Each structure stands twice: as structure tokens, then as C-alpha cells.
Amino acid sequence: MNVSWNKEEDVALQGLPLRAQIIYLRGLKPCMNSVTKISGGPRRELSFNKLAEVAREWVNRRAAPRVTKDGVRASLAQLQRAGLLRRLHGHRYLVFQLPLAGAETGEKPVVTGKHASAKDFRMKRI
């Protein structure tokens, strides 16, 4: 699995807590559709438990206490305030738009089908 990020994402990630950065780079980016810039969905289901497992820390080969759902929510809120994600509601599972992903090309993604417009989703704070 290859995950890369651009300069705009790097600037936005700078200074965020490590847990938020890990959730973005190891939890959300790998599940992102590169055309629509949407992470999650029917084939790439995300959950608070999955993101908590991604963010779990290991110290001396032993797992630290599990990250709570509230801890994941706090990290997602930090990412949202930094402009790295928007939560898209109206699904049984977590779905996010990653607006800065692919921003280095200056092109808008070509979106077709069910996710024709991110505006079709209700935007709401986490």
C-alpha cells in the first residue's frame, strides 16, 4: 500500500497531535478513492473502532491502552479544524471528504455516479 501526501496536506498536518496525524495518514488516506477524494463508503467501510485500532500505540512491543471512541472523535475534530477533512453524513458508516488530497495538481477531481457532488451530502461538525 502506497500512501503519499502533498505539500498542502503536510502544512496542515504540521503541529497536529501525533494521533490525529496517524489517523489521517494510516486510517483515512488508504481508504480514500483517489478520484472523488472520499474516504470510506460501501467498499471501504470506516468505523471508530477501526480508526482506534490504527491509532493504538505500541511501547516495547506491548499495546498501550486502547484509544477510546471519544479520543478518535477528538482527533477527527482536530483534522476537521485544520481543513483536512469534512464528515459526510447520511450513511450507516463513517464517510469523509479529504479536500486537500491531490491539491498539488490544481485540478478538480472528475466525479461521476452516486457521489457526483460532495454537496449532495449534509455537512455537519463531528
What residue spans define the domains of the chain?
A: 7-120
Q: What is the pLDDT of residues 1-54, one digit of tens each?
A: 677 888 899 999 999 999 999 999 999 998 888 888 999 887 788 889 899 998
Count the helix, strand and coil residues of the chain and give each as a percent rounded to the nearest 5.
40, 15, 45
Encode burial over 77-102: b for 16+ CB neighbours within 10 A, e otherwise. Answer: ebbbebebbbbbeeeeebbbbbbbbb
- How much is the pTM? 0.75
pLDDT of amino acid 1: 62
Q: At what angle do helices 69-81 and 48-55 cross, to 10 degrees?
A: 90
- At 94-110, the pLDDT tens digits run 899 999 987 544 444 43
7-120 is classed CATH 1.10.3470: no
C-alpha cell at position 53: 485500532
Q: What is the pLDDT of residues 43-97, one digit of tens each?
A: 788 889 899 998 887 766 777 778 889 999 999 999 999 999 999 987 788 899 9
